[in-house]
Amino acid sequence: MSIIEQLVTGLGVPNLSVLIPEIIVLITAFVVLFVELFSKNRTLITGITLIGLFTALISIFTISQGDITLYGLYVVDSFSLLFKLFLILSTIFIVATYRPYFESKKAYFGEFYYLTLFALLGMMIMVSSPNLVTFYIGLELMSITIYVLVGMFRPKDEKYKDLDYKSKEGAFKYLIIGGVGTAIISYAIALLYGATGTFDFSEIAKIAISEDLSVGIIGGLILLVIGLALKASAVPFHHWTPDAYEGSATPIMNLMAVTAKVATYAVILRVLVEAFPFSSDEWGFAWALLAAASMILGNFVALRQKNVKRMLAYSSIAHTGYITAALAAPTGMGFAAFIFYSLVYIFMALGALVFLTAFEKHEGWTNHLDDFKGLSKRSPLMALLMLVFMFSMLGIPPTVGFMGKLGVFLALIGSNVWWLAVVLVVMSAVSAGYYLKVVSYMYMYEPEKNLPSFKFTGAEKAILILMAFIVLFLGIYPTIFWGVSTTTSSMLISSIGG
């Protein structure tokens, strides 16, 4: 037997059957890349992208048994499959809005499609990472492609040149600060490897419990929390968020503020629970402070915003606070609340942002609060849908946003983190000042701007109606999602030390 044959026999063959969703997304990205090079058929590019995403989505349900594959560098379990399902689903909704939006701004480029697929692939790698190296590869793939996507908003019409400048400014700030975050995570990985001699989460956990925590492990954990907090736009590491979100094309903001954020939330939970389960008091307190700061600053600064797109950027910072507050209660219930809120956040946030995407296509619409005046008279259905999203993000029953905040609140009370539970309730009340302002402008004012009649695509209407239905349905019947979140949380905890 040759040396190569011995080597292959010793390593074994990776189980590629559990990697079907990733393989489909990767192949679709390359197909779209080549189609875009040789054909500028926009219908074909959009169709291939959506077909590939739908196929990847369906393939999730064909994986009946998980596995640790690629020589221990990749794990496919219920946690990763659950998040991959919703990451792909949210990407489908976002990609469906690309063509009408970019054509209206005269900024259509086929690159948007395959870069989005590469970003999605990075997110899928992140949530399946049992290892610091795999996690870093996924993070870099996601981050670099999104840097490019933010800076690609280049309208060909001279009247939209301000959008080009804002896009470049936002991309530059995101690149610089995001690069700092990546560097911090790199230092964290170096410290952890130096202290433990391994990149595997489970091995790091075993060493941390069997020995006294060394300076390398403590320093690595601190830097890792800081780097992940920056990627999740938690205060005080949030400074890139408002400009990057506002400067990017709104569909790209959807990808950043919803899909990429949820992937970041997932990897935060996986890294902390699997690599540092016995330091939960320390990182739980750290996230409590970050969550409180995010809720306070995010909500109070959002109150001062007149541009709804920028307001939702600060709102996303506040929601990072609401979601990561669950980490201050490092128990099964706290993790279940974290997973539940992360998943339902997709529907209410994506609904509000797709709403802005649909209206921005129209001449004269600037996302300023004045644009919303009298909207209930001009477009009653769309105003009603936006009302549902605003109520959900505020946390008014019977929307799912209320159930998300209630789950986090109960987890905090159950762990006696009373002070953070109080902050959550008070800041939720403060957020009424800007969420209800949007509603009041739609329903209590007469139209001021002479805007053209609104025309929406069937995809935009279908997405918004579906998002509103899910927000209300899950608010009234949250047991299915809560049961899935609880089961996933239990399975994640059971993998500790595995």
Q: What is the pLDDT of residue 72?
A: 76
What's the number of domains the chain is made of?
1
Place of tokens 């644009």: 371
Domain assignment present for residue 484? The answer is yes
Domain assignment present for residue 442? The answer is yes
CB 375 within 8 A of CB 442: yes
Q: What percent of the chain has pLDDT over 70?
A: 94
List strand residue ranges (DSSP E) for 17-154, in order: 67-69, 74-76
Domain assignment present for residue 398? The answer is yes
Sign of CA dihedral 136, 213, 321, 332: positive
Q: What is the pLDDT of residue 44?
A: 92
Domain assignment present for residue 448? The answer is yes
Q: Phi and psi of 444, rounded to 5°?
A: -115, 5
Query: Alpha-carbon distance 288 to 192, whole Å?
Result: 23
Query: Alpha-carbon distance 107 to 155, whole Å?
Result: 4
Q: Residue 36: which residues within 8 A CB-CB, separation 6 or more?
A: 45, 110, 111, 113, 114
Place of tokens 């990546």: 182
Q: Phi and psi of 192, rounded to 5°?
A: -65, -40
The Cα diameter of the chain in Å comes to 83
Which residue type does 473 have? F
Domain assignment present for residue 101? The answer is no
Structural domain including 463 reads 279-498
pLDDT over 70 (residue 299):
yes
The pLDDT mean for the chain works out to 88
Q: What are the DSSP calls for 65-76, one per residue?
A: S-EEETTTTEEE
Q: What is the pLDDT of residue 332?
A: 87
Domain assignment present for residue 32? The answer is no
pLDDT over 90 (residue 4):
no
Domain assignment present for residue 186? The answer is no
The DSSP output letter for 248 is S
Average of pLDDT values for 316-342?
93
Model confidence over 430-468: pLDDT tens digits? 999 999 999 999 999 888 777 777 888 888 999 999 999
Q: What is the pLDDT of residue 9?
A: 44
197 CA to centre of own chain: 31
Domain assignment present for residue 301? The answer is yes
By CB neighbour count within 10 A (0-12 exposed, 13-18 middle, 19+ buried), where does 151 fall? buried
In this prediction, residue 7 has a pLDDT band, given cuts at 50, 70 and 90, of very low
pTM of the model: 0.92
CA atoms within 13 A on the CB side of 34: 5
